[in-house]
Amino acid sequence: MPEQPKFHDQTVEGEPRDAATVVLVRDAGAGGLEVFMLRRGGSSTVMHDAYVFPGGKVDDEDEASAAREHYGVGEHPAARLGEPDLGDARAAALFVAACRETHEETGVSITARDLMPLSRWITPKVPAMMRRRFDTRFFVACLPEGADPVHDGQEADASAWFTPRTALEGYRDGEIMLAPPQIMTLAGLSRWTDTAAMVAALHGNVPRLIEPVSFQTEEGRSIVYPGHPRHPRSDAAMPGPNCLVTRNGRFEPEAGFEAYFG
């Protein structure tokens, strides 16, 4: 059983660093949609022991035109990302980083054409489980036919396919560790029963910006999301609960576990 996480209470100064994450999904018959997750190993400096989706920070080389061509970024990546003011060069680097990190961490080759923008997460100034801040674009990609992802044995020391619900149950029961962005993304993915429904729902999707607000209460750490009375934005940015609280060293919805799926 993994150790319970130690929540940080220090403010992290400076601007968050750009990063990209890819949620690899596949159909599992009657079991529904499954997602591939990696457990960060001993050589990882971020999210040690937690199960995460493949991904990482944007490198300088990701902005090169050769990388953009290699991963099939195409024209107008900023518009496709839903951030026309970002600029195509930086948007292209995010698509490249997503493809590159997926291949480095799982061995699966994808191109920018396989990526569907899902959401954008900016780590709060008081992060829950790490001492760094990231501005991360989350993408979804269907597992290419014949591909068989595996962990690299360095940054990740284990991997598994989960349905969104079984991953959340494993976290609730202390079998695996998850961080809040993964928790909330899994709650959203649980709404889709197969990849066809997911692709249809994400067609033309403009990713919403999610900036969690983290604070300490007498009971422990709480995190609120857009739509919660204590969040500066009143409109909900995603399905699922708009507040996570800590109980027994784990995050869960204020209203209890089933609120993930309501």
Domain-embedded: residue 252: no
Q: Identify the pLDDT of residue 89.
A: 96
Domain-embedded: residue 3: no
Q: Identify the pLDDT of residue 248.
A: 85
Those residues of the chain that have pLDDT short of 50 are 4, 44
Are 128 and 214 in contact by the 8 Å Cβ rule? The answer is: yes
**Residue 124, CB-side half-sphere exposure with 13 Å CA sphere:** 23
Q: What is the CB neighbour count within 10 angstroms for residue 178?
A: 25
Domain-embedded: residue 259: no
Three-state secondary structure call for residue 254: coil
Domain-embedded: residue 214: no
Q: Identify the pLDDT of residue 12.
A: 62
Distance separating alpha carbons of residues 261 and 253, to the nearest angstrom: 10
Q: Give the total number of structural domains in the chain.
A: 1
Distance separating alpha carbons of residues 50 and 118, to the nearest angstrom: 21
Q: Identify the pLDDT of residue 72.
A: 97
Distance separating alpha carbons of residues 175 and 73, to the nearest angstrom: 38
Domain-embedded: residue 101: yes
**Residue 228, CB-side half-sphere exposure with 13 Å CA sphere:** 22
CATH number of the structural domain spanning residue 185: 3.90.79.10
Domain-embedded: residue 7: no
Q: Identify the pLDDT of residue 218.
A: 77
Domain-embedded: residue 87: yes
Domain-embedded: residue 150: yes
| Predicted TM-score of the model (pTM) | 0.91
Which residue range is the domain that position 108 belongs to?
17-207
